[in-house]
Amino acid sequence: MASLFTFAGILMTIVGGVLALRSKSMGLEILVLGLFCLLIAFLA
């Protein structure tokens, strides 16, 4: 379960980072969501 959150978190962080560089509106939200998933994976 933790590995799933880690994979999703890394993927969302990368996608969010790319989107944040291109258009700042939605990318930051995805970036924060990805970091949140990584935090859950770290704590689980």
For the chain, the domain total comes to: 1
pTM of the model: 0.67
Residue 43 CA to residue 23 CA, distance in Å, equals: 31
DSSP letter string, the chain: -HHHHHHHHHHHHHHHHHHHHH-HHHHHHHHHHHHHHHHHHHH-
Residues 33/34/40/43 CA torsion (nearest 10 deg): -130
Domain hosting residue 14, numbered range = 2-43
Is pLDDT at 37 greater than 70 in this prediction? Answer: yes
pLDDT tens for each residue of 12-36:
888 888 888 887 677 788 888 888 8
pLDDT for position 3: 86
